[in-house]
Structure 1
Amino acid sequence: MRRVVIGTAAVSLALTAAACGKAGDDDSDGGNAGDSKTIGLLLPDSVTERYAKFDRPFFEAKVKDLCDDCTVEYANAAGDAGKQAQQVSSMITKGVKVLVISAQDSAAIKSSIQSAVDKGIKVIAYDRLAQGPVSAYVSFDNVKVGELQGQALIDALGDKATTKSKVVMINGDDADPNAGQFKEGAHKALDGKVDIAYEQSGLWKDTVAAQKMSAAITQLGAKNIAGVYAANDGMAGGIANTLKGAGVSGIPLTGQDAELAGIQRIVAGTQSSTVYKAFKPEADAAAQLAVNLLEGKSIDDLATETLTSGSGDKVPSQLLTPVSVTKDNINDTVIKDKLYTVQEICTAAYAKACKDAGLE
């Protein structure tokens, strides 16, 4: 496992006469052109639960904690790479000094990042390693994420994990470099231990994943599928519905992101595992990097790894450690970290399953 260093020290910033700004809304004009303490935050889609519920508020709160007169300008690409490129242009016009971006399409955003850098803006790749001259990258060890997913599937299969056991793999969107790393890690865990009989991309969409699962059932036969690798919880939801509709139950189904619905499916037994990537440490790390870069401070003690992006750029990187979550450790992970309360997980529909799982 790679060595991980997470910066937690607060940054002391000299006060200026600038007024304290508040976080901007999606695509707001902001009126911040020339503001010397403006940080832009661009997130990729509104479908994945984590971005609006966790990443944005955690990032904004940490920036405010580190720099009480900093302003955060926010926009969400809603799954549209072209829209995200326009949002970068808007951030340049608004006068942001640092841009934190989780790329909808890591290759397509390269020219936009170059335009920002040409204007003297420092760019941080968040969660997904964008191409182009970015100053830093913060994410999780994504190959390790895939390994955890694959191993969780093997563990759930138990003595059914044989080279004759047919497994379906529904991977993420190829435009997201993380998807390839998840896939790489999963294959490390699965290859040679099971038969990956059907493998397709679900594009990070539950509807597409459901369609691909339906095709896999048609091709392989419902009774012949031993387990399913789904690269995230959103797709796992679509797959779980398809399996239920086909009368398939009791087989392992992976996920990722520890979404509330995914945790509830784990409690109910329709999903076997997810991967918890603690959102607050990641958002906090990005905020610390952003404030350091805004103030011209070193990030050497924060971004201690070096990764190579798809464009060949060597990027100082800060990598955090993911955790596999099954029914056995929900209490010790997402509940302990106050990501969710027992009450949020154990709604009326899951009351009996929660009691059986010891969540009360």
Structure 2
Amino acid sequence: MRRNLLALVTVGLLTVGGLTACTDDDGKTSGGGSKVAARGGDGTGKVGVILPDTTTSQRWGTDDPKLLKAAFDAADVPVEIENAQGDPANFQRIGDRMIAAGATVLIIANLDPASGTYVLNKARAAGVKTIDYDRLTLNGGADYYVSFDNVKVGQLQGQGLVRCLNATKALRGDRPPRIVYLNGAPTDNNATLFKNGYDSVLQPKYDDGTYLKGPDQSVDKWDNKEGRSIFVEMLNQFNNDVDGVLAANDGLGNAAISVLRERKKNGTVPVTGQDAETQGLQNILAGDQCMTVYKPIKQEADGAAKLAIGLFKGQQTKVKGQVKDPQSGAYVPAVLLEPIPVFKEDVGKVIKDGFVSKKAVCAGRFAALCRENGIK
């Protein structure tokens, strides 16, 4: 299942490198976008970026803004990056303001379908080109979509949980393990894709009686506090008799781990994650989290920036992939990058790749755990 980290990073870079900038003879977009005359395209105006929140994942508050700004600065393209701070109304206000202020390209990581669609519709009416970033806005009609293969992310989570349950088999004997789920937000299409992925791995094991399926719940807005409350109820329902947690990201995984610690069950119940956050990697080193999924978001930021820069300069940019919007049925030109599974032995590779710092991961009590795992 696992592949060499550097090889997969190379695949992702080749995918982003597959973007081509060319101008069609009739001047129409090759991305299948709006029929309204595109605003700008002559290197004037700016690129606007709207990110969703700063609480559900560290990436939105620190990583993506830094990486996107660096990519636009390197191309000498003006960019404005704002975060909606989890407020759909604020997401819409930011979109309105950026369009009114002369943005010619918008990159959005939607907070929910309604506010995302609102911004995309306003942009389309103004002739502003749009890129869905990380999350597809259902029925939104963005010109492009840049993300990871999110079904594959879920498959890696399911496969990782199977591996870790095999490793803890001696703790439960021959009885089938009971799995509970903390899924992502029901309004986030990515959460649906992750679930499609891990269900494809785990459902056959429920069907043949190898595993027992416990509660399967979504967590509104990816809220970690709500995830913790839901997990407490799950444990209470089964008198703590839970053997594995499919948590859709590291934040929800940590919410479950915090409860398991209180009940002296951390390290005995495998918990998955996603995003390779500092806290998630520390939980893996401590043995409290089974695995995470690393998505090299520099590739994602660079891919979105390259598209936006081409559109900003009036270059009609073609991409090799496409995804189908399950609501509208329309196909959206897409760049899909490769996710990477991370277990304890892989934590050093994520650090070496520059995604997180050794100083942050190996701080305090984790310094000894880093040394034990060969992280120098």
Aligned AA (2:201) = A
Residues 1:264 and 2:276 are matched in the alignment: no
- 2:72 corresponds in structure 1 to 63
- Given the alignment, which residue of 135, 140, 153 partners 2:143? 135
Q: Which residue of the partner structure matches residue 215 of structure 2?
A: 198
Q: 1:50 is matched with which residue?
A: 59
For the 8 Å contact 2:43–2:312, the answer to whether it is kept is no
Matching residue of 1:290:
308
> Over residues 28-62 of structure 1, what are the superposed CA-to-partner deviations in whole Å (9 max), with x where a residue is unaligned?
xxxxxx98240000001111200222111111111
- Residue of structure 2 equivalent to 1:329: 346
CA distance in 2, matches of 1:299, 1:11: 6
**Distance (Å, rounded) in 1 between the aligned partners of 2:368 and 2:213:** 34
Secondary structure of the corresponding residue to residue 251 of structure 1:
coil
* 1:11 shift after superposition: 9.2
CA distance in 1 between counterparts of 2:291 and 2:87 reads 29
Counterpart residue number, 1:26: none
Distance in 2, matches of 1:178 and 1:188, equals 15
User: Structure 2: how far apart are the matches of 1:141 and 1:7?
Assistant: 13
User: Amino acid of the residue matched to residue 101 of structure 2?
Assistant: K
Query: 1:292: Cα distance to partner?
Result: 1.2
Opposite residue 343 of structure 2, the aligned amino acid is T
Check conservation: 1:167, 1:196, Cα contact below 8 A. yes
* Partner residue, 1:25: none
State which drifts further: 49-58 or 102-111: 102-111
Q: Which consecutive residues of structure 2, in runs of 5 or more, have no partner in the other structure? A: 2-10, 22-41, 206-210
Judge conservation of contact 1:43–1:76 (CA < 8 Å) in 2: yes
Greater relative contact order (CA < 8 Å, ≥ 6 in sequence): 2
Query: 1:167 maps to which residue?
Result: 179
Q: TM-score, normalised by structure 1?
A: 0.87
Tell me what 2:96 maps to: 89
Q: Distance in 1 between matches of 2:118 and 2:370?
A: 49
CA contact (8 A) 2:18 2:320 kept: no
Structure 2 Cα separation of the partners of residues 133 and 325 of structure 1: 34
Paired letter, 2:271: L
The answer (yes or no) to whether the contact 1:163–1:192 under 8 Å persists in 2 is no
- 1:109-148 matches, within 5 Å, as 109-131=116-138, 132-148=140-156
Separation of aligned partners in 2, 1:351 and 1:109: 42
In structure 1, stretches of 5+ residues that fail to align are 13-33
> How far does residue 106 in structure 1 lie from its aligned partner after superposition?
2.3
Q: Post-superposition shift, 1:235? A: 1.2
Alpha-carbon offset, residue 272 of structure 1:
1.1
Q: Is the 8 A contact 1:40 1:73 kept in 2?
A: yes
Query: 1:348 maps to which residue?
Result: 364
The residue that corresponds to 1:179 in the other structure is: 191
Q: Which of 320, 325, 328 in structure 2 is aligned with 1:308?
A: 325
Superposed displacement of residue 343, structure 1: 2.7
SS at match of 1:97: strand
Aligned length: 335
TM value normalised by structure 2: 0.83
- Indicate conservation of the 8 Å contact 1:309/1:315, yes or no: no
2:120–2:130 Cα contact (<8 Å) kept: yes
Aligned with residue 158 of structure 2, among 139, 150, 161: 150
Which residue pairs with 2:8 in the alignment?
none
In structure 1, how many angstroms separate the alpha carbons of the residues matched to 2:146 and 2:118? Answer: 20
- Between the aligned partners of 1:147 and 1:172, the Cα distance in structure 2 is 15
Flag the 1:213–1:157 CA change in 2: closer, same or farther, 3 A.
Answer: same
Classify 1:213/1:306 alpha carbon distance in 2 versus 1 (closer, same or farther; 3 Å). Answer: closer
Q: Is the 8 A contact 2:179 2:242 kept in 1?
A: yes
Single out whichever of 107-116 and 124-133 deviates more from structure 2. 107-116
1:231-270 correspondence to structure 2 within 5 Å: 231-249=248-266, 250-270=268-288
After superposition, residues 204-215 of structure 1 pair within 5 angstroms as 204-215=222-233
Q: Which stretch shows the higher mean deviation, 200-209 or 115-124?
A: 200-209
Instruction: Give per-residue Cα distances to partners, 1:101-130, cap 9 Å, x unaligned.
Output: 000002442133111111000010000001
* Deviates further, 272-281 or 290-299: 290-299
**Distance in 1 separating the partners of 2:196 and 2:367:** 37
AA matched with 2:353: D
Task: Give the 3-state SS of the residue equivalent to 1:284 in structure 2.
Answer: helix
Matched, 1:220 2:225: no
Are residue 78 (structure 1) and residue 95 (structure 2) matched?
no
Alpha-carbon distance in 2 for matches of 1:245, 1:205: 20
Which region of structure 1 is more displaced relative to structure 2, 202-211 or 93-102? 202-211
Distance 1:320 1:9 in 2: 12
SS in 2 for 1:109: helix
Is 2:43–2:314's contact at 8 Å kept on the other side of the alignment?
Answer: no
| Cα-to-partner distance string for 1:219-243 (whole Å, 9 max, x where unaligned) | 1121x21111110111111111111
Structure 1 residue 338: Cα displacement: 1.3
